[in-house]
Chain A
Amino acid sequence: MILTASIYLCAALAALATLLMMFQRDPVKAAMFMLTALLATAGLYLALSAQLLAALQVILYAGAIMTLFTVALMATPQAWRDKPAPGRALKVLGLAAAAVILAELLKVSYILRSVKISPEFSETGTLGVARELFGRFAFQFELLSLVIIASIVGAVALAMKRRPA
């Protein structure tokens, strides 16, 4: 009961933060709303008994990625000066497209209505997740390191190109 309530509460908080982020002019305040949404997601993971994932969410998303965004906002002063283009029709189109996506997704997953899930507290240990990562998903996990290496090389190459030779 309390888990169900907290799932709905965290979800509502995340949705509210995302909505406020859309209407926030100040980019740093928008980043703070994003932080709220990410922390609410961490709470959602806790309520869904994914403790390791909740910790990783706080460390990786709310810690590392948010720091990256804040530094990027500071390093690009254009973000503060730029006047947003007043394309109102474009905004309405974007909202309509998102509404269509939502309606389609809800319609497709309607079949899930008969599946009952009662969220109960259970401990999904780190050991179980590690067994999956290094057992069944070992190849994918190793491929992931390749993705990260490629992204590091790409980011460094892009940053080096900025200096005119």
Chain B
Amino acid sequence: MSAYSLSAISFVLFALAAAGFLTCGNLVRMLMFLELMLNAANIALVALGQSAGSQAYAIMLLAVAAAEAGVGLALIMTLAASFKTLEAENIKELKG
């Protein structure tokens, strides 16, 4: 097994998540695909690093993903409360 196939695994997962992120209009779903993209990056770190250092880095990325999910969902719920929609297409004006 070459390092290329290991990296290809994470690249395919990343591209699939990116495709989902770009094609779906729902904000919650977009955040879900964003998490999957971070997850794929984490896989690349662990698969190619194969040392305690890269795993420590992956753990830090996990914490960043958790923080990002919290803030993102709070933002989305605020948007949903003021715009009464979750479709990114329908949210057009920036005025609060």
Chain A interface residues (CB < 8 Å from chain B): 4, 7-8, 11, 14-15, 18-19, 21-22, 27, 30-31, 34, 37-38, 41, 44-45, 48-50, 52-53, 56-57, 60-61, 64-65, 68-69, 72-73, 75-76, 78-79, 82-85, 87, 90-91, 93-95, 97-99, 101-102, 105-106, 109-110, 112-119, 124, 128-129, 131-133, 136-137, 140-141, 144, 147-148, 150-152, 154-155, 158-159, 161-162
Contacting residue for A137 out of B29, B50, B51, B60, CB 8 A: B60
**From residue B54, how far is it (CB to closest CB) to chain A in Å?**
9
On whether the beta carbons of A158 and B78 are closer than 8 Å, the reply is yes
B94 interface residue per 8 A CB criterion = no
User: Judging by beta carbons under 8 Å apart, are A117 and B59 in contact?
Assistant: no
Tell me whether B70 and A155 are in contact (CB under 8 A): yes
Do A151 and B24 touch across chains, with their CB atoms under 8 A apart? no
Among B20, B36, B59, B66, the one with the most A-chain Cβ atoms within 10 Å of its Cβ is: B59
| In the complex with contacts A76-B28, A78-B85, A15-B77 CB distance below 8 A | no
The answer, among A44, A113, A118, A151, for a CB contact under 8 Å with B4, is A113
Q: Is the interface of B mostly helix, strand, loop or mixed?
A: helix
Q: How many residues of B contact A (CB 8 A)?
A: 71
B86→A22 contact, CB < 8 A: no
B contact set with A: CB distance below 8 Å: 1-4, 6-9, 11-26, 28-29, 31-33, 35-36, 39, 42-43, 46-48, 50-53, 55-60, 62-71, 73-78, 80-81, 84-87, 89-90
B9 touching A27 by the CB < 8 A rule?
no
- Residues of B within 8 Å of A56, CB to CB, are 59, 62
Which single member of A112, A124, A137, A155 contacts B2 (CB below 8 Å)?
A112
25 contacts between A and B (CB under 8 A): A4-B1, A15-B13, A18-B20, A22-B20, A22-B23, A38-B39, A41-B39, A44-B9, A48-B46, A49-B50, A68-B69, A69-B28, A76-B80, A78-B80, A78-B86, A84-B24, A98-B16, A99-B15, A105-B14, A112-B2, A112-B4, A128-B52, A132-B56, A147-B67, A158-B78
Provide the bound-state CA to CA distance between A85 and B71, in Å.
Answer: 26
| A116 in complex: contacting residue of B3, B33, B43, CB < 8 Å | B3
Are A65 and B66 in contact (CB-based, < 8 A)?
yes
The 5 closest A-B pairs by CB, nearest first: A94-B22, A98-B19, A128-B52, A102-B15, A151-B67
